[in-house]
Structure 1
Amino acid sequence: MALTKKGEFWYGTTSGDTQAELRSYSVANEHEASRFAASKCDCGCRTFALQSDEDAGVAIRTCTDCGQEHLMGDSADHLDDAAPETHECVCENEVFELMSGVSVTPGTHDVRWYYIGCRCVECNLVAVFADWPCDAGDAAAFLAKV
């Protein structure tokens, strides 16, 4: 399905829709995401609760099947200064499929901005729920931890 706008929000049904919204958001932010990765738990589940603290640069996903918490990207390096808050959709659901995207510093493979796109599993809202500047080194290594 392609993204569909209803009122002020965008809706979609696939990870491709989430990635498209993430790219659009990042272009408007002037740090275009060029590399992406979908979150998947070790148990195989692809739905999560999400907490983040954009000021500290921390995101934590919690698997809806097994309950495992996972620090996303380089969040472990910044956890001491963080006060993560739970994300909730406009429909009040707290379960999402997650897509991470990063922009890289020109001429390198180094992360310079991190975005977390979400698709609500209840109403299909697609949006970027968190983003921050990020100096995390190699983009492939960073995205392997989302």
Structure 2
Amino acid sequence: MVIGEVGDWPVGEDLDDLAAYAMAQGAEGYEVHEVRLCRCAACGGQVFGVHGDLEERAAKRVCRGCGAEHFIADSGGYWDDTRSAVMVCECDGDGDEEDFNVAVGFSLYAASGGIRALAITSRCVACGRLGYWDDWMIRGGDMHLLDLA
């Protein structure tokens, strides 16, 4: 694991760095207890475009290998295509959609084992920059959401 820095940006070399970054960032101000690295259920790919509705706290990833779309956690129930924004990286500068590795960090309640909050983090495939996309409260969310990263 080697998280470096370029300018003011943390930079990671691989998925292990992304997982460590996700763990360190927290979720809605809470400690992250579990990190899931996103992998396409259809083809196993780990490179995605990311779209989000920041107002509704919803996100989906689009696999670069096969085009499969997957809503992160419970996002599908809140999704509105008309408000969708595309995640970009500062390295490109043209506002076009970039390729990312994605990880979701989960904060868990100690007593009940439910999910308190989640945070979506990313690593730009082109430059390695690590970033924080969004986080939101789940409030006792079902543990099955861990498998919907």
Give the structure-2-normalised TM-score.
Answer: 0.87
Take 1:137 and 1:70, find their aligned partners in 2: how far apart are those partners?
Answer: 19
Take 2:110 and 2:9, find their aligned partners in 1: how far apart are those partners?
Answer: 31
* Structure 1 residues 80 and 11: CA distance shift in structure 2, 3 A: closer
Contact 1:96 1:121 in 2 (8 A): yes
Alignment-derived partner of residue 147 in structure 2: 144
Do structure 1's residue 56 and structure 2's residue 56 form an aligned pair? yes
Alignment-derived partner of residue 14 in structure 2: 14
SS in 1 for 2:139: coil
Give the structure-1-normalised TM-score.
Answer: 0.88
Question: Gapped runs of 5+ residues in structure 1?
Answer: none
CA RMSD of aligned residues (A): 2.0
Q: Which amino acid aligns with 2:66?
A: C
How far did 1:111 drift?
1.4
Q: Which amino acid aligns with 1:107?
A: A
Take 1:80 and 1:6, find their aligned partners in 2: how far apart are those partners?
Answer: 35
Q: For residues 39-77 of structure 1, give each alpha carbon's deviation from its aligned partner in whole angstroms, at most 9, with x where no partner exists.
A: 111211110000112331211100111111111111122
Alignment-derived partner of residue 134 in structure 1: 138
How far did 1:17 drift?
0.9
Q: Which amino acid aligns with 1:75?
A: S
Take 1:107 and 1:31, find their aligned partners in 2: how far apart are those partners?
Answer: 15
Question: Gapped runs of 5+ residues in structure 2?
Answer: none
- Quote the sequence identity (%): 27
SS in 2 for 1:55: coil
Count matched residues: 144
How far did 1:138 drift?
2.6
Alignment-derived partner of residue 33 in structure 1: 32
Alignment-derived partner of residue 83 in structure 2: 83
How far did 1:81 drift?
9.0
Take 1:82 and 1:31, find their aligned partners in 2: how far apart are those partners?
Answer: 31
* Structure 1 residues 82 and 113: CA distance shift in structure 2, 3 A: farther
Take 1:80 and 1:71, find their aligned partners in 2: how far apart are those partners?
Answer: 12
* Structure 1 residues 50 and 81: CA distance shift in structure 2, 3 A: closer
Contact 1:118 1:127 in 2 (8 A): yes
